[in-house]
Amino acid sequence: MTKKILAHAAQLVTCSGSKAKRGSDMNDLHIIEDGAVIITDDMISAVGTTEELLPKAVGAEIIDCCGKAVLPGFVDSHTHFIFGGYRPLEFSWRLSGVSYMEIMKRGGGINATTIPTRTASLEQLKIDGKKRLSSMLSYGVTTVEGKSGYGLDADTEIKQLEAMRQLNQEHPIDIVTTFMGAHSVPSEFSGRTDDYVDYIIAEVLPAVAAGKLAEFCDVFCEADVFDIEQSRRLLLAAKDHGMKIKLHADEIIRIGGTELAAELGAVSADHLLQASDKGIGMMAEKGVIATLLPATAFSLKEPYARARKMIDSGCAVAMATDFNPGSCFTNSVPLLFALATIYMGMTIEEAVTAMTINGAAALKREEEIGSIDAGKKADIIVLEFPSYQFLHYHFAVNIVERVFKSGELVYDKRKCHGEQL
């Protein structure tokens, strides 16, 4: 048994709780000044003030957090980090005025990533994936969700999911996998979207489920991609296989994906730039997590999701990067904090809740991670500054100094910078 105590944290930002925080509760971070955490093996065993806990930590390794804020590890609950190839030219095309959906219709977008993902070996996907995970870890991300959806055929979808399954064992970050075969219609099914949905339901979903390769199923429910009826059909089939569901909903054009998420009891509805008042009300009523992806709106120059309206309506809002090679080629957590508070009307407290306990809830992990509470996994980050306020005040800069994953120190910026410890 190993025992550590993180002591003298200027602020221990616990985000305490084991349920998603909704509405005004999102502002309560449950902060302990001069806080301490005892870690036994990979778990948090006690939380309190340094004065209370130090006498109980006889023989424990003492980790001084004087002058630092300590928080739960961030949960990036929506990414597409396993893919082959890159699409830098599309970024320039978009800036010159061609829209994301127009590029997709011309054969770019998701389908342009399908070709290099199909030809990439499992090993290559893992090598690239591992580098991306290490970058995420340096931003304080301790759990990440990853979607398939660049294969659009059984073999490649399974290859993407298998890469994540193996990486979950080989890299400190925990990976939660989502099957997203309905991300786009591949060229071989062009003009036959219903046939493609039939194929996914008949051949791909059963194989993914049989291999226990994905916990969630997601769909790009969007005009000219998968409509409401096609999305409903696919998600109901996924539920029959015991999968939990998520939707890319009302991102570009309002077609009612938000309402569908509530109707089907989805764990989360994501993007939501165009979510209607009615849809927002339904998410609040049904407890669907509203996962906002501000870096995507920023990158696409689309209006931000109505975070204020959602929180004030009683929704639980989570926030994630949407890291992917097209609409949002960044995994920057500092950018999310800046956009959320400067442009989306969220308080920094709400944004921290959205990246921690609510991110965990978007992955159905709210009882295991997302807060600093006794009995949860010891996924903890130490900031370079004494307050969580620096997460937006020092905008767009990564201020994560140390990351503890399952109780182990897995990242220390001071070592990278050659500081004397």
Among 133-141, 326-334, 389-397, 400-408, the segment contacting ligand NIG (CB under 6 A): 326-334
Nearer to Fe ion, 322 or 350 (CB): 322
Report DSSP state, residue 153: S
| Minimum CB distance to ligand NIG, residue 113 (Å) | 5
Query: How big is the chain, counted in residues?
Result: 421
Query: For residue 379, which of 38, 43, 68, 10 has the smallest C-alpha distance?
Result: 43
Q: Per-residue x/- marks for ligand NIG, 34-73, CB under 6 A?
A: ----------------------------------------
- Phi first, then psi, for residue 168 (nearest 5°) are -60, -35
Among 91-99, 100-108, 170-178, 318-326, the segment contacting Fe ion (CB under 5 A): 318-326
For CA atoms 264, 81, 166, 77, give the dihedral sign.
negative
Place of tokens 């998520």: 246
**Interface of this chain with ligand NIG, residues 259 to 298, rule: CB under 6 A:** 296
**Amino acid present at 411:** Y
> What are the start-end ranges of the H helices in 106-145?
110-119, 122-138
Alpha carbons 377 and 405: distance in angstroms, whole number = 8
Alpha carbons 369 and 404: distance in angstroms, whole number = 13
**Interface of this chain with ligand NIG, residues 111 to 170, rule: CB under 6 A:** 113
- Phi first, then psi, for residue 40 (nearest 5°) are -115, 115
Nearer to ligand NIG, 178 or 341 (CB): 178
Query: For residue 53, which of 88, 109, 94, 6 has the smallest C-alpha distance?
Result: 6
Q: Phi/psi class of residue 131: alpha, beta or left (left: φ > 0; alpha: ψ in -120 to 50)?
A: alpha
Among 123-131, 203-211, 317-325, 373-381, the segment contacting ligand NIG (CB under 6 A): 317-325
> Residue 331, interface with ligand NIG (CB under 6 A)?
no
Nearer to Fe ion, 269 or 282 (CB): 269
Residue from the set 68, 159, 171, 248 that interacts with ligand NIG by CB under 6 A: 248
Q: How many residues bind ligand NIG (CB under 6 A)?
A: 14
Residue from the set 90, 222, 259, 322 that interacts with Fe ion by CB under 5 A: 322
Residue from the set 45, 114, 327, 332 that interacts with ligand NIG by CB under 6 A: 327
Q: Please enumerate in sequence order all residues whose Cβ is within 8 A of that of 95, keeping only pairs 6 or more positions apart, or say none.
A: none
Nearer to ligand NIG, 32 or 125 (CB): 125
Cα three-residue angle 351-352-358, rounded to 5 degrees: 90
Query: For residue 160, which of 17, 325, 292, 8 has the smallest C-alpha distance?
Result: 325
| Minimum CB distance to ligand NIG, residue 225 (Å) | 8
Contact (Cβ atoms closer than 8 angstroms) between residue 37 and residue 380: yes
Q: How many residues bind Fe ion (CB under 5 A)?
A: 1
Query: Angle of helix 333-342 relative to helix 348-355, nearest 10 degrees?
Result: 140
162 binds, among ligand NIG, Fe ion, none (CB under 5 to 8 A by kind): none
Exposure of 13 in the CB half-sphere (CA atoms within 13 A): 31
Q: Per-residue x/- marks for ligand NIG, 202-221, CB under 6 A?
A: ------------------x-
Question: Which single residue brings its beta carbon nearest to ligand NIG?
Answer: 326
Among 15-23, 324-332, 350-358, 372-380, the segment contacting ligand NIG (CB under 6 A): 324-332
Among 153-161, 254-262, 319-327, 342-350, the segment contacting ligand NIG (CB under 6 A): 319-327
Among 85-93, 238-246, 322-330, 379-387, the segment contacting Fe ion (CB under 5 A): 322-330
Q: Per-residue x/- marks for ligand NIG, 93-122, CB under 6 A?
A: ----------------xx--x---------
Report DSSP state, residue 178: E
Interacting residues toward Fe ion by CB under 5 A: 322
Interacting residues toward ligand NIG by CB under 6 A: 80, 109-110, 113, 220, 248, 251, 296, 322, 324-328
